[in-house]
Amino acid sequence: MTSAILSIDTSIGTAVSVVESDGIVLSVASSPNPLGHAEAIGGLLVRALAEASVTADRIEYVAAGMGPGPFTGLRVGIAAARTFAQGRGVHVVPVVSHDAIALEVLLADALTDAETARFAVVTDARRREFAYSVYDGIDDDGLPVRSVGPELIARDGLDARLAELGARRQDAAAVPAALVGLAAARALAAGRTIGPDHALYLRSPDITAPTGAKRVSTGPNRVSTGPKRVTP
Protein backbone atom coordinates (compact mmCIF):
# COMPACT_ATOMS: atom_id res chain seq x y z
CA MET A 1 0.00 0.00 0.00
CA THR A 2 1.29 3.46 -0.89
CA SER A 3 2.32 5.48 2.14
CA ALA A 4 0.58 8.75 2.93
CA ILE A 5 2.03 12.12 3.87
CA LEU A 6 0.16 14.56 6.10
CA SER A 7 1.17 18.13 5.23
CA ILE A 8 0.56 21.21 7.36
CA ASP A 9 1.27 24.90 6.74
CA THR A 10 0.29 27.93 8.83
CA SER A 11 2.64 30.53 7.38
CA ILE A 12 -0.25 32.56 5.90
CA GLY A 13 -3.61 30.92 6.51
CA THR A 14 -4.05 27.40 7.88
CA ALA A 15 -3.84 24.53 5.41
CA VAL A 16 -3.77 20.73 5.78
CA SER A 17 -3.57 18.04 3.10
CA VAL A 18 -3.05 14.32 2.73
CA VAL A 19 -0.85 13.30 -0.20
CA GLU A 20 0.29 9.84 -1.24
CA SER A 21 4.01 9.29 -1.67
CA ASP A 22 3.53 9.07 -5.46
CA GLY A 23 2.07 12.59 -5.49
CA ILE A 24 -1.65 11.79 -5.60
CA VAL A 25 -3.58 14.38 -3.57
CA LEU A 26 -6.21 12.69 -1.40
CA SER A 27 -7.63 15.70 0.44
CA VAL A 28 -7.22 19.40 1.12
CA ALA A 29 -8.69 21.39 4.01
CA SER A 30 -7.88 25.04 4.59
CA SER A 31 -8.84 28.33 6.17
CA PRO A 32 -7.69 31.61 4.55
CA ASN A 33 -7.97 33.48 7.86
CA PRO A 34 -4.50 34.85 8.67
CA LEU A 35 -5.41 34.61 12.36
CA GLY A 36 -6.96 31.87 14.49
CA HIS A 37 -4.49 29.14 13.49
CA ALA A 38 -4.74 27.39 16.86
CA GLU A 39 -8.55 27.36 16.69
CA ALA A 40 -8.62 26.01 13.11
CA ILE A 41 -5.83 23.43 13.01
CA GLY A 42 -7.53 20.63 14.94
CA GLY A 43 -10.73 20.65 12.91
CA LEU A 44 -8.81 20.84 9.62
CA LEU A 45 -6.67 17.85 10.59
CA VAL A 46 -9.76 15.78 11.34
CA ARG A 47 -11.42 16.89 8.12
CA ALA A 48 -8.39 16.21 5.91
CA LEU A 49 -7.96 12.70 7.26
CA ALA A 50 -11.69 11.94 6.97
CA GLU A 51 -11.98 13.24 3.40
CA ALA A 52 -8.93 11.19 2.42
CA SER A 53 -10.42 8.09 4.09
CA VAL A 54 -7.09 7.71 5.85
CA THR A 55 -6.53 6.74 9.46
CA ALA A 56 -3.61 8.06 11.47
CA ASP A 57 -1.73 4.76 11.18
CA ARG A 58 -1.50 5.23 7.39
CA ILE A 59 0.54 8.40 7.80
CA GLU A 60 4.23 7.60 7.27
CA TYR A 61 5.58 11.18 7.17
CA VAL A 62 4.43 14.64 8.21
CA ALA A 63 5.45 17.54 5.96
CA ALA A 64 5.72 20.88 7.75
CA GLY A 65 5.79 24.28 6.09
CA MET A 66 8.64 26.08 7.85
CA GLY A 67 7.88 29.57 6.59
CA PRO A 68 8.71 32.33 6.09
CA GLY A 69 5.86 33.46 8.28
CA PRO A 70 4.96 35.42 11.42
CA PHE A 71 5.97 33.99 14.79
CA THR A 72 2.48 33.57 16.22
CA GLY A 73 0.95 31.67 13.30
CA LEU A 74 3.91 29.68 12.01
CA ARG A 75 4.72 28.00 15.31
CA VAL A 76 1.17 26.56 15.52
CA GLY A 77 1.57 24.52 12.35
CA ILE A 78 5.08 23.37 13.15
CA ALA A 79 4.05 22.33 16.66
CA ALA A 80 1.04 20.43 15.26
CA ALA A 81 3.24 18.65 12.71
CA ARG A 82 5.83 17.66 15.29
CA THR A 83 3.22 16.54 17.80
CA PHE A 84 1.40 14.37 15.26
CA ALA A 85 4.68 12.89 14.06
CA GLN A 86 5.83 12.14 17.59
CA GLY A 87 2.52 10.46 18.38
CA ARG A 88 2.85 8.26 15.28
CA GLY A 89 6.58 7.71 15.66
CA VAL A 90 7.32 9.06 12.17
CA HIS A 91 9.62 11.73 10.74
CA VAL A 92 8.83 15.37 10.00
CA VAL A 93 9.89 16.54 6.52
CA PRO A 94 10.58 20.31 6.58
CA VAL A 95 9.63 22.33 3.49
CA VAL A 96 10.20 26.03 2.83
CA SER A 97 6.69 27.37 2.34
CA HIS A 98 7.71 29.55 -0.61
CA ASP A 99 9.01 26.40 -2.35
CA ALA A 100 5.48 24.94 -2.31
CA ILE A 101 4.12 28.08 -3.96
CA ALA A 102 6.93 28.00 -6.52
CA LEU A 103 6.23 24.35 -7.31
CA GLU A 104 2.59 25.23 -7.98
CA VAL A 105 3.68 27.98 -10.39
CA LEU A 106 6.13 25.68 -12.17
CA LEU A 107 3.57 22.88 -12.57
CA ALA A 108 0.98 25.31 -13.93
CA ASP A 109 3.49 26.60 -16.48
CA ALA A 110 4.33 23.02 -17.50
CA LEU A 111 0.66 22.22 -18.12
CA THR A 112 0.32 25.19 -20.46
CA ASP A 113 3.75 24.69 -22.09
CA ALA A 114 4.67 28.17 -20.92
CA GLU A 115 8.36 28.99 -20.69
CA THR A 116 9.19 29.67 -17.05
CA ALA A 117 11.54 32.61 -16.67
CA ARG A 118 13.12 33.58 -13.37
CA PHE A 119 10.39 34.59 -10.93
CA ALA A 120 9.95 35.65 -7.32
CA VAL A 121 7.36 34.32 -4.90
CA VAL A 122 6.14 37.27 -2.83
CA THR A 123 4.06 37.10 0.35
CA ASP A 124 2.76 39.88 2.57
CA ALA A 125 4.83 40.17 5.74
CA ARG A 126 2.69 43.00 7.14
CA ARG A 127 4.21 46.12 8.72
CA ARG A 128 4.78 47.47 5.21
CA GLU A 129 7.16 44.64 4.31
CA PHE A 130 7.20 41.67 1.92
CA ALA A 131 8.93 38.32 2.09
CA TYR A 132 10.32 37.06 -1.21
CA SER A 133 12.26 34.16 -2.72
CA VAL A 134 13.64 33.94 -6.26
CA TYR A 135 13.45 30.76 -8.38
CA ASP A 136 15.27 29.58 -11.49
CA GLY A 137 13.17 26.72 -12.79
CA ILE A 138 12.90 23.12 -11.65
CA ASP A 139 15.63 20.52 -11.13
CA ASP A 140 15.93 16.87 -12.15
CA ASP A 141 14.15 15.78 -8.95
CA GLY A 142 11.12 17.90 -9.83
CA LEU A 143 11.86 20.47 -7.13
CA PRO A 144 12.08 24.27 -7.46
CA VAL A 145 15.55 25.81 -7.70
CA ARG A 146 15.63 28.65 -5.17
CA SER A 147 18.51 31.03 -5.83
CA VAL A 148 17.66 33.91 -3.49
CA GLY A 149 15.85 34.07 -0.16
CA PRO A 150 13.65 33.88 1.68
CA GLU A 151 14.35 37.53 2.48
CA LEU A 152 12.42 40.42 4.00
CA ILE A 153 12.22 43.79 2.27
CA ALA A 154 10.30 47.08 2.62
CA ARG A 155 7.32 47.28 0.27
CA ASP A 156 8.67 50.38 -1.46
CA GLY A 157 11.92 48.60 -2.30
CA LEU A 158 10.58 45.30 -3.64
CA ASP A 159 10.00 46.11 -7.31
CA ALA A 160 13.43 47.72 -7.68
CA ARG A 161 15.05 44.70 -6.06
CA LEU A 162 13.24 42.26 -8.35
CA ALA A 163 14.18 44.35 -11.40
CA GLU A 164 17.78 44.17 -10.25
CA LEU A 165 17.49 40.38 -9.99
CA GLY A 166 15.64 40.05 -13.29
CA ALA A 167 12.72 38.21 -11.67
CA ARG A 168 9.04 38.62 -12.46
CA ARG A 169 6.82 39.08 -9.44
CA GLN A 170 4.44 36.29 -8.37
CA ASP A 171 2.29 37.38 -5.43
CA ALA A 172 0.71 34.66 -3.30
CA ALA A 173 -2.07 34.93 -0.73
CA ALA A 174 -1.97 31.29 0.40
CA VAL A 175 0.38 28.33 0.68
CA PRO A 176 -1.05 25.15 -0.92
CA ALA A 177 -0.65 22.35 1.63
CA ALA A 178 -0.93 19.76 -1.14
CA LEU A 179 2.19 21.21 -2.76
CA VAL A 180 3.99 21.16 0.60
CA GLY A 181 3.21 17.44 0.62
CA LEU A 182 4.26 16.97 -3.01
CA ALA A 183 7.58 18.76 -2.41
CA ALA A 184 8.14 16.50 0.61
CA ALA A 185 7.32 13.38 -1.43
CA ARG A 186 9.80 14.36 -4.15
CA ALA A 187 12.48 15.20 -1.58
CA LEU A 188 12.00 11.81 0.10
CA ALA A 189 12.20 9.99 -3.25
CA ALA A 190 15.45 11.81 -4.03
CA GLY A 191 16.89 11.30 -0.54
CA ARG A 192 17.21 15.04 -0.03
CA THR A 193 16.57 17.49 2.77
CA ILE A 194 15.02 20.65 1.32
CA GLY A 195 13.98 22.63 4.41
CA PRO A 196 15.54 23.74 7.68
CA ASP A 197 14.79 22.21 11.07
CA HIS A 198 14.12 25.68 12.48
CA ALA A 199 11.21 27.97 11.67
CA LEU A 200 11.83 30.78 9.18
CA TYR A 201 10.25 33.56 11.21
CA LEU A 202 9.90 36.86 9.38
CA ARG A 203 11.10 38.73 12.43
CA SER A 204 11.68 38.18 16.12
CA PRO A 205 8.62 38.02 18.38
CA ASP A 206 7.48 41.35 19.83
CA ILE A 207 7.85 40.13 23.41
CA THR A 208 11.19 39.53 25.08
CA ALA A 209 12.15 37.61 28.17
CA PRO A 210 13.25 39.61 31.22
CA THR A 211 17.02 40.05 31.41
CA GLY A 212 17.45 40.17 35.17
CA ALA A 213 15.87 39.55 38.54
CA LYS A 214 13.13 41.94 39.61
CA ARG A 215 14.11 44.27 42.42
CA VAL A 216 11.83 44.08 45.45
CA SER A 217 11.56 46.82 48.06
CA THR A 218 11.69 45.88 51.74
CA GLY A 219 10.10 49.10 53.04
CA PRO A 220 6.81 49.33 54.97
CA ASN A 221 3.95 47.29 53.44
CA ARG A 222 6.35 45.72 50.94
CA VAL A 223 7.05 42.05 50.38
CA SER A 224 10.62 40.86 50.73
CA THR A 225 11.85 37.71 49.00
CA GLY A 226 14.96 37.40 51.18
CA PRO A 227 15.37 35.57 54.53
CA LYS A 228 13.72 37.20 57.50
CA ARG A 229 16.13 38.55 60.13
CA VAL A 230 15.29 37.58 63.71
CA THR A 231 16.66 39.65 66.62
CA PRO A 232 17.31 37.65 69.80
Report all structural domains of the chain as residue ranges with CATH numbers, in order of start. 4-190 (3.30.420.40)
Three-class DSSP category at 122: strand
Q: What is the pLDDT of residues 31-69, one digit of tens each?
A: 987 788 889 999 999 999 999 999 999 999 999 999 999
Q: How far is CA 71 from CA 61, 95, 142, 173, in A?
A: 24, 17, 30, 18
Residue 190: per-residue pLDDT? 97
Residue 213: per-residue pLDDT? 53
Residue 18: per-residue pLDDT? 98
* 25/219: higher pLDDT: 25
Single-letter residue type at 109: D
Residues contacting 37, CB < 8 A, separation 6+:
10, 14, 72, 73, 76, 77
Spatial distance between the Cα atoms of 101 and 209, rounded to a whole number of angstroms: 34
Residue 196 confidence (pLDDT) above 80: yes
Residue 208: per-residue pLDDT? 52
Residue 212 confidence (pLDDT) above 70: no
Instruction: Express as a percent the part of the chain with pLDDT over 70.
Output: 87
Q: What is the mean pLDDT of residues 97-112?
A: 94
Give me the chain's average pLDDT, please: 89
Residue 217 confidence (pLDDT) above 50: no
Q: What is the mean pLDDT of residues 141-148?
A: 97
Residue 1: per-residue pLDDT? 61
Residue 206 confidence (pLDDT) above 90: no
* 209/152: higher pLDDT: 152
Please list the residues that pair with 29 across neighbouring strands: 16
Three-class DSSP category at 14: strand
Lowest model confidence (mean pLDDT) among 29-33, 77-81, 96-100, 114-118: 114-118
Lowest model confidence (mean pLDDT) among 29-43, 66-80, 213-227: 213-227
Provide the b/e sequence for 57-90 (b: ≥16 CB within 10 Å).
ebbbbbbbbbbbbbeebbbbbbbbbeebbeebeb
Select, from the ranges 22-26, 94-98, 106-110, the one with the highest average predicted confidence (pLDDT): 94-98
Q: pTM for the whole thing? A: 0.85
Whether omega for the bond prior to residue 150 falls within 30 degrees of 0, making it cis, is yes
Spatial distance between the Cα atoms of 20 and 102, rounded to a whole number of angstroms: 20
Instruction: Express as a percent the part of the chain with pLDDT over 90.
Output: 75
Q: How far is CA 103 from CA 37, 135, 147, 199, in A?
A: 24, 10, 14, 20
